Amino acid sequence: MYSLPDIGWTPFFQQQLTENDSDLVPARVATLSRGIFRLLTDRGERTASLAGRLGYESERLVDLPVVGDWVLARVAADTAVIERVLKRRTKLSRMAAGDRTEEQALATNVDIVFLVTSLTREFNPRRIERYLTQVWESGARPYLVLNKVDLAESPHDYVKQVEDMAEEVALTSAATGSGVDQIRLELRPGLTVVFVGSSGVGKSSLINRLLDDDVQTVHDIREGDDKGRHTTTAREMILVPGGGVIIDTPGLRELQVLADASTLSKTFSDVEGIAEECAFRDCTHTAEPNCAVISAIEAGELDDGRLRGYQKLQRDIAHADRRTDRAAQLAEKKKWKAISKTNRRRDKQGGRDRYK
């Protein structure tokens, strides 16, 4: 049995219930694999499927339930059917990998996102900026975790590279346990945290340390490139003894940012703060006179990598917006083409009926 408040149930979700939902049970999606869900309810765990109507009426893939979602289900003795997905408080998503112009939800109703990177060759400030921007867009609170501190000669040199982009930073070692207590403080009843990052950065090892138990399988990374084999193959919810919820995720090989341009101000507050002093409001920080950003770089007050990362994300977000708009236009055209075809068929059938 599970106490719903302990696994994230709040008045936000309670207020969405209606009289018509009286025969349905609130449940939270713990795992999803090949269309089969594992739900946590106050009646225990249930294996569940999706109601056919729900799948048919969902216009976008992102609207279907994922790990972290609260749903209403029709529960039987051992199984259940998901009838409705409740509105989400937060949603961590990305543009689907590859050429697909579609949003992919990674986890929902998350309070804190632990963005894990390692102090090895995997460390990449530009990648961290991308992750942080997507986390800010989700509505959750980002928390940067610099793992494998035991392998770094000068850990605080890494901290200096991220201190302008992240408000909360922890130096940890899953191998020795160093710094783990700092992030353990965030595991509290009713709160949900998710671990994200590239493969091999030590997410599963950190979770094992946090829980003092080998709940997640881990493998050694390759020595040639510091890349790890995917030990977590699907998103999975783990309950913390004493309260709290952890969601582990597979390593991300690719992160196409899906965010609003205004979100960049949270990741790049230093760049945008300096840009307010530029002579021109629409300054591109390339060749304009009296550009405060270029002056700050020349004076050593701003890393030029920060500007390059900022401009790259601006271009990526604009490109994603254009792709999304084009996809929406094509989807709308396809919908009306199908409606027109159905109407013509109906009119043709009606004409035949009139002459019978």
pLDDT digits (tens, 9 = 90+) for 45-66: 999 999 988 877 777 888 999 9
Examine the pLDDT at 218 and tell me if it is beyond 60: no
User: Do the Cβ atoms of 159 and 133 come closer than 8 Å?
Assistant: no
Measured distance CA(140)–CA(94) in Å, rounded: 14
Higher pLDDT, 337 or 194: 194
Measured distance CA(95)–CA(191) in Å, rounded: 26
Within 8 A by CB and 6+ apart from 91, the residues are 62, 105, 108, 138, 139
Examine the pLDDT at 273 and tell me if it is beyond 80: yes
The reported pLDDT for the residue numbered 7 is 94
The whole-chain average pLDDT of the chain stands at: 86
Measured distance CA(202)–CA(319) in Å, rounded: 32
User: Which region among 73-87, 105-119, 214-228 has the lowest average model confidence (pLDDT)?
Assistant: 214-228
The reported pLDDT for the residue numbered 349 is 66
Burial class (CB in 10 A: 0-12, 13-18, 19+), 169: middle
The reported pLDDT for the residue numbered 356 is 52
User: Which region among 69-73, 233-237, 244-248 has the lowest average model confidence (pLDDT)?
Assistant: 233-237
Measured distance CA(304)–CA(176) in Å, rounded: 35
Other C-beta atoms closer than 10 Å to the C-beta of 104 total 15
Measured distance CA(235)–CA(207) in Å, rounded: 13
Higher pLDDT, 168 or 350: 168
pLDDT category at 258 given cuts 50, 70, 90 is: confident
User: Which region among 15-19, 158-162, 330-334 has the lowest average model confidence (pLDDT)?
Assistant: 330-334
What pTM, to 2 d.p., does this model score?
0.83
Q: What percent of the chain has pLDDT over 70?
A: 82
Nearest to 90, CA basis, from 40, 141, 54, 50 = 141
Which amino acid belongs to residue 169?
Answer: V
pLDDT digits (tens, 9 = 90+) for 158-194: 999 998 888 899 999 999 999 999 999 999 999 999 9
Examine the pLDDT at 241 and tell me if it is beyond 60: yes
Higher pLDDT, 275 or 214: 275
Most confident by average pLDDT, 44-53, 219-228, 328-337: 44-53
The reported pLDDT for the residue numbered 35 is 87
CATH topology of domain 91-248: Rossmann fold (3.40.50)
The reported pLDDT for the residue numbered 302 is 94
- SS3 string of 29-82? EEEEECCEEEEEECCEEEEEEECHHHHHHCCCHHHCCCCCCEEEEEECCCEEEE
- Cross-strand partners of 116: 145
Nearest to 116, CA basis, from 296, 234, 251 = 251
Nearest to 108, CA basis, from 166, 63, 52 = 63
Mean pLDDT of 261-290: 92
Measured distance CA(217)–CA(210) in Å, rounded: 14
Which amino acid belongs to residue 33?
Answer: S
Residue recorded with tokens 């869900």: 37
Same fold, 91-248 and 268-356: no
The DSSP element (H or E) to which 332 belongs, if any, is helix 304-354
Examine the pLDDT at 229 and tell me if it is beyond 50: no
Measured distance CA(289)–CA(277) in Å, rounded: 12
pLDDT category at 350 given cuts 50, 70, 90 is: low
SS3 336: helix
CATH topology of domain 268-356: Ribonucleotide Reductase Protein R1; domain 1 (1.10.40)
Examine the pLDDT at 225 and tell me if it is beyond 50: no
Mean pLDDT of 207-211: 93
Which superfamily, per CATH, for 4-85? Nucleic acid-binding proteins (2.40.50.140)
Structure token digits, residue 224: 């040639």
Parse the chain into domains and list their residue ranges: 4-85, 91-248, 268-356
User: Do the Cβ atoms of 90 and 109 come closer than 8 Å?
Assistant: yes
User: Do the Cβ atoms of 250 and 232 come closer than 8 Å?
Assistant: yes
